[in-house]
Structure 1
Amino acid sequence: MKKTLSLIIMAVVAVAVSARDDRRELMQLWYDRPATQWLEALPVGNSHMGAMVYGGTTDETIQLNEETFWSGGPHQNNSTRSLGRLAEVRNLIFNGKEEEAAKLINQDFIVGPHGMRFLPMGHLRMKMDGNDKATDYQRNLQLDRAVAETHFKIDGVNYTRTVFASMTSKVLVVRLTADRKGAINMTATLDAPFDYTTKADGKQITMSVKGCKQEGIDAALTAECVAEIRTDGKVVEKCLNDSCNTANALHVEKASEVTMLLSAATNFVNYHDVSGNAAKRNNEWLNAAEALTYNQLLEQHEKEWKRQFGNVKLTLDADSNALLPTDQRLLHFAESKDMAMVALMFHYGRYLLIASSQEGGQAANLQGVWNDNTHAPWDSKYTININTEMNYWPAEVTNLRSTVGPLFSLIKDLSVTGTTTAKQMYGCRGWMAHHNTDIWRIAGPIDGAQWGMFPNGGAWLTTHLWQHYLYTGNKDFLKQWYPVIKGAAEFYLDYLQPMPGTTWRVAVPSVSPEQGPTGKHTAVTAGCTMDNQIAFDALSNAIQASEVLAIDEPLRQEMKKMRDLLPPMHVGRYAQLQEWLIDADDPHNEHRHISHLYGLYPSNQISPFSHPELFRAAANTLHQRGDMATGWSLGWKVNFWARMLDGNHAFRIIRNMLHLLPSDKLAAQYPEGRTYPNLFDAHPPFQIDGNFGVTAGVAEMLIQSHDGAVHLLPALPDDWTKGSINGLCARGGFEVDMTWNNHQLTQATIHSTIGGMLRLRSAVPLKGKKLRKAKGQCPNMLYAPAVIAKPIVAKRIDEGVDANIPSVYEYDIMTQPGQVVTITAK
């Protein structure tokens, strides 16, 4: 009888899960209690402002950020001594004296400052009169609307608080309503963790927050935040302490609805200009918002949000756990079949990127646009030896080109400051940046030789420009950005040096982030694998861009000659892809950086079809490095295993990421915790790149277009029995919708935006109008595979684990702009 009853209950739950609106399982984070810490609060943002909503009842806190509020002021950190010591450092490295070279680098190359930090601006606090015994509580974040809501009941009155960062009006909107007339009596205040002043005047509170000096760089920025109240009740100025001379709070009496508009700004104009007028900006933005009703503000916000967010949707199966509050759903994910939780994480990554990166704003930093820490981990800077790039991995493939403008703006700025760095520090043409930068666009090295002696940050960033061209085929864009792409490649023409005893040219000094070979006590080296891979991409992209634009023939030939002198990749004694030119990998090393697999992802230099030796070596490296790591590293590993065409292993990494970490204080009790209650990624501590990495990884499991074809469902896990995806993008200007069942593709609809040859790759045979079997190499260069040198393979001691190279079907169809191609499985 018990068993029968249990089956009936399970059946009822299953029907409820399948029958309800999918917003909760796919598009909503929700909780049955208020947040008690920042990592439980819910993020809203419009790039310009970020806010963390705690969802309190009588006491509400909304933590605020303004994207340009950073410590320090305009400065650069280039060494004037490095060029004079460069030859000596190179000689020491070539003679095996890397530790001595590192000492010179620390002394004469890395002179500081070491980058400024992203600052929290303050808090909006709202306190309601009366008791705090609330019932019927729920708070949520609706990803498809970018709206956070809090619902509760006190003394028979239903209250709803709605928060959104307007995508069209630059302001944060907070609205509190009650279903009993005159039931709202509340006080609103602003405060900050730094020196600040507040003044209440009429229906506005204005807060001014002083910036911070750091490492000898004086504070050049001041933030101003203005909160304005609209209500059907009465607004009274208040002084909340005995010492204040002017009112510093606003009290609302007997209201049924209260709407607050918050605007924030600093005097930042750009990385070398701080002459802006924060008060003027706030006045303009508030005046524009004041001309609209609340419903108009919400309607315009939702329309713009859905334009960006609504073009992609992933659907996967849910189980009864999908009915749980999000933190509980995460806690029980490991033993569930709640694949819709993966879809939620996928959508959440897209949500966070839209909310933290919009045209005209700053690029998403190490924490997006959200930070409550006066000294954020790693200053919440732009770490450009992986983390900043990872932030934007989902942008092209998940149809978020609206978010890339701030990244491109950062690259443009660095191409200016980095030109000085290249010339002054290394005597090189072109431009470069090391492993970190900030809002002031420093390009010199920071922290120490072990981390900072990385000359490839600028070149890696420019690959995003080239990829944008591959996805869009936009020659006007390529022409505009060609000087930046060319400049990154020109740097290598001078920086690469002959390696003694070989015909190779190598980057020296350099590091493979952030470790050295076995037996070495420093990461400083010459010609590590990642150097050669990034230099290959930088030179190749510039070569191909000049060919497309039919310009710079002499320079193109110089670049081709230099590219041919790069060392090939090496396969070592443990059948691994070597991280360095010497065979010194430790097969038991599980370091979070797997930098030498850059060639597998995000680059396309390692292919199962054209480079099987490298493909197998990459598989061995991944097995040796293990399946657990910090949060962002797991995000990278999802993409690695997707490129290995191993969906089950990629999903295993996702499962490893979806382990709850309730808070940093409980890290010892949750050693495998990699996701916080609000689904922020845990390094730990919080870094947002892991969120973006897993979103890109899920997309990479469903579509790939880097290796000579548009590969449909290349890495579908067994657990994703059926599902659908709409709106993913492929190189060549294609947008793809797919459905699958019983682990196999059932139908795909491909929209060709620019025309051209479409080559499809699939694990199952396909049929469709005018589809023909492919022959030879695909003529569409927008997704052509990389042409690289044959690898050097050592005599192997251990053959390692072989990689699966699948049999596939390939088809061609010539498309016209606007054409829609529908194919099905045979």
Structure 2
Amino acid sequence: MSDFRLWYSTPATDWSQGLPLGNGRIGAVVIAAPYREVWNMTEVTYWSGQAESEPAPFGGKAALEEMRKYFFAGDYNEGDRLAKQHLQPKKRNFGTNLGLCEVVIDFAEQDTDSGSAAAIERELDLTCAVAQTVVQSRRTTLYREIFASHADDLVVSRIWSDEPGGVSFTIGLEGGSESFTTQVVNDDTIEFRGQATENVHSDGTCGVWAKGQIKVSISGGTMYRGDGQLRIAGANEARIYFAVSTDYNRSNSEWEMESSSTLQQALIKGYAQLKEDHIEDYEQEYGKVDIQLGTTGKVNLPTDQRIRLLAQNPEEDSQLFALFLQYGRYLTIAGAREDSPLPLNLQGIWNDGEACRMGWSCDYHLDINTQMNYFPTEVVNLGDSHLPLMRYIEDLSHAGKASARDFYGSKGWVAHVFSNVWGFTAPGWETSWGLNVTGGLWIATHLMEHYEYSQDRLFLEEQAYPVLKEAAAFFLDYMTIHPKYGWLVTGPSNSPENHFYPTDSSDGAQQLSMGTTMDQMLVKDLFEFCLKSAKLLNTDEELQEQLEQAISKLPPFQIGKRGQLQEWLEDYEEAQPEHRHLAHLFAVYPSNQITPSKTPELSAAVRVTLENRMVQEELEDVEFTAALFGLGFARLYDGEKAFNHISHLIGGLSFDNLFSFSKSGIGGAECNIFVIDGNFGGTAVIAEMLLQSHEGEIHLLPALPKAWGTGSVSGLRAKGNAEVDVAWDNGQLVEATIRTYSPGTVTLRLGDRRATVQGEIGGSYYFNSQLELV
């Protein structure tokens, strides 16, 4: 029995128990019961809304200077009023990613023993990305398997029985919008068409069109049409093929024929070859990393039982953490491949429908969620899955030039709290949360991350540096000197999405201020990266001088009166000490501006910040906060506290299918809502506990908890274009191997011990338990 599978001995009763599949574009959540199977289908470009330019101008530099005077003078109410007047657009056809349709399969019921139901076992094997269901009745056993092929761009299923003629079912499609239509063609195919429309995030008239087909082939038995469905009776085996295309970014009608062509090619290839090609394609990515965190008997228990037991005693199922990391890698591969048309959104490429029907929107949140989706991508050796985000950021930078010009009268580009697939870069339609002026910069730091891991100079020269250079142009033009301190600051802006009291609570809570800590952290990384890149590329000497001067004027990080890392330029009182966001800890993770060895006092202040937030009785306990706690403590080398938070994320904030969720009542959530960032954030926590690479060092086992006393991991990536294998026993290093793919000095760290080697392209270096090069 594989350690790396999700499996269940009970039927799936709803979406939160279904098993996810994906090929980087098409998603499916398979909700399997003995006599009914529903595929909840999604497609990453199936968006409502449309491209719209914001009415301009909005006041530009003159309005910006006016409101800044009030903020500097301490008149936050008047500053906020002006910000709402000049920097708060109206909500229009922003849109959301919608569910596409449901494939509904109803099976003929088989005879069972008197008073007993058919037995069922469901599983998702992460090693091959195939979901299987076995239904056993008294007379027959029915087998069902399904996978989403990236190699052939479709979803494929096979159904068979251990008895001849044992396969009988009805299959149909149910749409998610009023425009959804189906028709049976050629007696073996259901053709569908629909438009992504809704009335919460757009006006109900605009959105992407989709067209697709579901084709059934059988061996033995009969197939006939009826009521828009296909009916199969007495077959030995059935094969189902699902394909869909959309008109997103398409100017001609060729897309309407793509699904038919895809299915024709699939039938020519045949099911066995489709499956073989799918597994080969998938394993090229999945097989890069292996992890073992100890062996326990719990792998023989169904996954939902393991989740519940973990909440009671996390030390007894260490391998569930290894499963969670590989599940995060699986979801990355399933949700984003090198050629995916769009990056992962709030729910990856899947959709439970909840975020779409309320104010959230299934979009690209730029104040933590989209960033966290990609926190583990590089370290878990899936750098190619990062590339769709790189392209999206590049497109965002082009769209954001209009927002920089129209809202701020500035050069370069800017984006704010969220975006969509239509190039939205304006502030959100409420300044209290929408005026996050560094949202676009935050997501653009992933360009830096991809370069630091890959050392791809061509990527730096042609994609990363041009985009980041224009971001730097905006902030150099937009930022201003603080009249009291002489520091170069941003603002007005918020610290996502927190509130503060300027003096005391009687003055009322505020969100906008000048020089929020997170803004300054992001700008510091931007300026320093651009300066370093310009020198490396031997370009932009004038810009280099501007950046050097600007860096010298940035505010220092400050420690507040409670010993905490200040979230704002001033030591304001928190209006929501229980808040879910920890944006101002960016300098600890994913950045490395604050580390225990380089900045011990600031690291101590970070610990105070984390612990102050943890003890709040009304803490907004959501999936991404649990991950942020774990990441913060991992970077502080506190393995036990990091372990506690990742345990809570898996055991307390994950559905039965291990999808993470945001609790009902928090952030406007009307129920427990699937948000995929917890899966990726948790994956990053586990990786950070085992390996960190920053400050020019590869740090082995920096936050290893006692519960993972013996284990191994291979194939993790380190900055500088290296791979690392590590094995340990009783909490002590046994051996480590470093493989280098770029030349340069490699410093390996274990606790306070260090070893250095000159890495060569294609080099492999083995270190023993004493960190001695063998």
1:470-489 per-residue CA deviation (whole Å, 9 max, x = no partner) reads: 11211111111111011111
1:371 aligns with 2:359: no
1:485 aligns with 2:472: no
Decide which of 386, 391, 409 is 1:409's aligned counterpart.
391
Tell me which residue corresponds to 2:76.
Answer: 98
Letter matched to residue 472 of structure 1: S
Give the match's secondary structure for 1:719. Answer: helix
Letter matched to residue 653 of structure 2: R
Tell me which residue corresponds to 2:320.
Answer: 341
Decide which of 511, 517, 521 is 1:533's aligned counterpart.
521
Matches within 5 A, 1:137-156: 137-156=120-139
Decide which of 256, 259, 268 is 2:236's aligned counterpart.
256
Decide which of 26, 39, 43 is 1:62's aligned counterpart.
39
Tell me which residue corresponds to 2:183.
Answer: 199
Quote how far apart the aligned CAs of 1:469 are. 1.3
Letter matched to residue 433 of structure 2: W
Quote how far apart the aligned CAs of 1:223 are. 1.5
Tell me which residue corresponds to 1:429.
Answer: 411
Decide which of 195, 212, 234 is 1:210's aligned counterpart.
195
Q: Distance in 2 between matches of 1:419 and 1:631?
A: 33
Q: Distance in 2 between matches of 1:105 and 1:216?
A: 27
Structure 1 residues 364 and 419: CA distance shift in structure 2, 3 A = same
Letter matched to residue 195 of structure 2: K
Quote how far apart the aligned CAs of 1:387 are. 0.8
Tell me which residue corresponds to 1:824.
Answer: 768
Q: Distance in 2 between matches of 1:220 and 1:380?
A: 14
Tell me which residue corresponds to 1:306.
Answer: 283
Quote how far apart the aligned CAs of 1:103 are. 3.0
Q: Is the 8 A contact 1:189 1:249 kept in 2?
A: yes
Letter matched to residue 525 of structure 1: S
Structure 1 residues 276 and 747: CA distance shift in structure 2, 3 A = farther
Matches within 5 A, 1:278-289: 278-289=255-266
Q: Normalising by structure 1, report the TM-score.
A: 0.87
Tell me which residue corresponds to 1:803.
Answer: none
Quote how far apart the aligned CAs of 1:266 are. 1.2
Structure 1 residues 132 and 614: CA distance shift in structure 2, 3 A = farther
1:87 aligns with 2:65: yes
Tell me which residue corresponds to 1:811.
Answer: 755
Tell me which residue corresponds to 1:178.
Answer: 161
1:110 aligns with 2:85: no
Tell me which residue corresponds to 2:743.
Answer: 755
Q: Is the 8 A contact 1:497 1:507 kept in 2?
A: yes
Q: Distance in 2 between matches of 1:232 and 1:322?
A: 37
1:440 aligns with 2:432: no
Q: Distance in 1 between matches of 2:338 and 2:222?
A: 36
Tell me which residue corresponds to 1:7.
Answer: none
Quote how far apart the aligned CAs of 1:63 are. 0.7
Unmatched 5+ stretches in structure 2:
664-672
Quote how far apart the aligned CAs of 1:319 are. 2.7
1:176-219 per-residue CA deviation (whole Å, 9 max, x = no partner) reads: 11111111121110111212111001211011112215434841
Quote how far apart the aligned CAs of 1:455 are. 0.8
Quote how far apart the aligned CAs of 1:738 are. 0.5
Q: Distance in 1 between matches of 2:276 and 2:438?
A: 44
Which deviates the most, 590-599 or 276-285?
Answer: 276-285
1:341-377 per-residue CA deviation (whole Å, 9 max, x = no partner) reads: 1111111111111111112321000000111317255
Q: Distance in 2 between matches of 1:255 and 1:340?
A: 41
1:682 aligns with 2:633: no
Quote how far apart the aligned CAs of 1:588 are. 8.6
Structure 1 residues 274 and 92: CA distance shift in structure 2, 3 A = farther
Give the match's secondary structure for 2:472. Answer: helix
Tell me which residue corresponds to 1:420.
Answer: 402
Q: Distance in 1 between matches of 2:642 and 2:701?
A: 13
Letter matched to residue 595 of structure 1: A
Give the match's secondary structure for 1:51. Answer: strand
Which deviates the most, 216-225 or 306-315?
Answer: 216-225
Q: Distance in 1 between matches of 2:168 and 2:393?
A: 49
Tell me which residue corresponds to 1:230.
Answer: 217
Q: Distance in 1 between matches of 2:580 and 2:406?
A: 33
Quote how far apart the aligned CAs of 1:40 are. 0.6
Quote how far apart the aligned CAs of 1:506 are. 0.6
1:631 aligns with 2:623: yes
Tell me which residue corresponds to 2:667.
Answer: none
Q: Distance in 2 between matches of 1:507 and 1:587?
A: 22
Q: Distance in 1 between matches of 2:378 and 2:591?
A: 14
Q: Distance in 2 between matches of 1:303 and 1:453?
A: 46
Letter matched to residue 329 of structure 1: R
Q: Distance in 1 between matches of 2:101 and 2:85?
A: 38
Tell me which residue corresponds to 1:162.
Answer: 145
Q: Distance in 2 between matches of 1:37 and 1:100?
A: 49
Which deviates the most, 515-524 or 290-299?
Answer: 515-524
Matches within 5 A, 1:10-89: 21=1, 23=2, 26-77=3-54, 80-83=57-60, 85-89=63-67
Q: Is the 8 A contact 2:737 2:765 kept in 1?
A: yes
Which deviates the most, 606-615 or 127-136?
Answer: 127-136
Which deviates the most, 417-426 or 231-240?
Answer: 231-240
Letter matched to residue 688 of structure 1: I
Quote how far apart the aligned CAs of 1:155 are. 4.0
Structure 1 residues 216 and 132: CA distance shift in structure 2, 3 A = farther
Matches within 5 A, 1:452-463: 452-463=434-445
Tell me which residue corresponds to 2:274.
Answer: 297
Q: Is the 8 A contact 1:511 1:525 kept in 2?
A: yes
1:592 aligns with 2:580: yes
1:523 aligns with 2:467: no
Structure 1 residues 314 and 755: CA distance shift in structure 2, 3 A = same
Q: Distance in 2 between matches of 1:587 and 1:434?
A: 23
Quote how far apart the aligned CAs of 1:607 are. 1.5
Q: Distance in 2 between matches of 1:725 and 1:191?
A: 44
Give the match's secondary structure for 2:684. Answer: helix
Q: Is the 8 A contact 2:489 2:520 kept in 1?
A: yes
Quote how far apart the aligned CAs of 1:101 are. 2.5
Tell me which residue corresponds to 1:543.
Answer: 531
1:143-172 per-residue CA deviation (whole Å, 9 max, x = no partner) reads: 111111000123421111101000201100
Decide which of 440, 447, 450 is 1:468's aligned counterpart.
450
Which deviates the most, 591-600 or 130-139?
Answer: 130-139
Decide which of 633, 646, 652 is 2:644's aligned counterpart.
652
Q: Is the 8 A contact 2:25 2:43 kept in 1?
A: yes
Quote how far apart the aligned CAs of 1:99 are. 2.6
Tell me which residue corresponds to 1:245.
Answer: none
Q: Is the 8 A contact 1:721 1:743 kept in 2?
A: yes
Give the match's secondary structure for 1:641. Answer: helix
Letter matched to residue 138 of structure 1: E
Unmatched 5+ stretches in structure 1:
1-20, 241-247, 660-672, 764-807
Give the match's secondary structure for 1:187. Answer: strand
Q: Is the 8 A contact 1:233 1:252 kept in 2?
A: no
Q: Distance in 1 between matches of 2:155 and 2:452?
A: 36
Quote how far apart the aligned CAs of 1:441 are. 2.1
Give the match's secondary structure for 1:455. Answer: coil
Count of paired positions: 736
